[in-house]
Structure 1
């Protein structure tokens, strides 16, 4: 066994502990460290107008193959080089039809810019406009597995447009979408889905089918951990399709795992399933939620978030999570070491002793009880409780 005694440590840094566990033949501790961390375990950076980031409401992100991050906001289109947000200007003689709302970089490197007045694309030298989309707010962009670029439009009527070979074709489902198509997703089986004013549509393959959701306003789409579709519903939490209906997708509080999180604490506005399996939920007025193993933790303006109203979410190639709000931009970056603190369940952040055992457990003696960390979970034992 390995231990450190006689010191009061700050929020516990686990890199050494995991190394000890690995040397002791406890790979389960290392596997737990590879899981999606909780939101408080990320390094956080925020840019607002006070930092010179005059972006307005930040509606969208994209990353081109050269590594630059593109940001679409109510003040225009910007390119971020890691230090500055620089306004982008199209070549002389061309212009964007309006301010950007949705961004996408397709696999061939083209930057697609959905604006408040139609769709354009930028291949690095030429700006191409798709007149079939004129007059519509481009709410969402998606490149499917076959290379077709899809755009959802707000009307009226709502439209779904497909761009192939430089040509756009739009469909309003004979008015069946209602006023708008809001979000697009392709699930693991290859089905293309669209959330619309009239409900949730399974658009392809085969004949389009609609799951009605009367009295519910559907929002962003993403995936569940097993690759199925997940939809945010305004005021009704998260749901997933089950046949011809939408079933609830319950979440629990990370600090009180036995309790279901009320829908009023979710208010999902933007959804993102990250590559490490974590689910990010940008809310309407309640900040940012991060879900790991169906347990949600929150990050708000009181924690340093730029703003509590989410306008966009994006994961870049390096695995950084970008959050666009009504007041600025935030980046959440994984650290090379993993930390444990009261936010993860330690009874106290003043630690007196640490011990790694051969079963993969890490024991932490704090000023307010003994904690056992194993397989990513913490159990706390106080004086009146027995040990396992």
Structure 2
């Protein structure tokens, strides 16, 4: 067999599923919209999903994502103090500076509180202060944002600042890219994601004159309106209109949605709630494989073993339109193989591809069921000889 070829194993599904599954109809006033079911990898809806657009404050998702990853790795501490530079305060305070955390010049603020100010309050000032605290300058932090965007495969994104403020087109993204970013945050830092994105409100700063504490509500339009809603971020500028990237989980299904280009605050609420509600009501999850269940075997190249079992890393299900009659679906396993050793148990080494009717293929990871080390000296010689005569 040719090395590093894409190997596809096709087999009939031993489960009754919809044979002809047309996507349930949906329409939205949003100029841009995208929805994906992370449980199955199914794209449920897309409208101008790859069109480049200004993200407005949804760009702050990347600022938070980088900070949460640094916290997860221990390279940043929640109690680390950051200084509000007078120059930064001067630029990012007052009505013309947009959403604010109401920071003060020279103030010392913890990373923990800055993240709350970014996620809950959408503070432009908080975003820049945290960016400067992490990278020294906002420009240096923007370079980190672009490196991470490239790593995540956000091919239609570029960041010129940490808060999404209009910058003559330097900062742009797409709905699909924002969904990738949301998925990366949720999956790479799940505990920190919940800590910061589920906050209903946050109190920081004091009013002039009376000195009363300022409490602001989370701007998330589906929080408290959709069961299981727990993130993510709104955005609004005159250039971008009103947008939102959101996520919710119900009965093991996690959905990420993106809408953008809406005309008003209230329309954003209405369209976001309607969109997420449709994602859960119009679609259902049909179980395929339990976590740890073996799906297939894969050949191994230059390993201590010739094959490895491919298992489900979690409960895997296919997402199908609700209320359809049962039939058969096509299930394939694909991997770049033979899979080159070494690799570890639980490492993603293959994909499960599910096709049902005329809906797009759903792609889910499969992982190795055990560690496989490199072949010994004689094993590698034998493998080399075998490839010559193959």
TM-score grouping bracket, smaller chain normalisation: under 0.3
**TM-score (normalizing by structure 2):** 0.28
**TM-score (normalizing by structure 1):** 0.28
Larger strand fraction of residues: 1
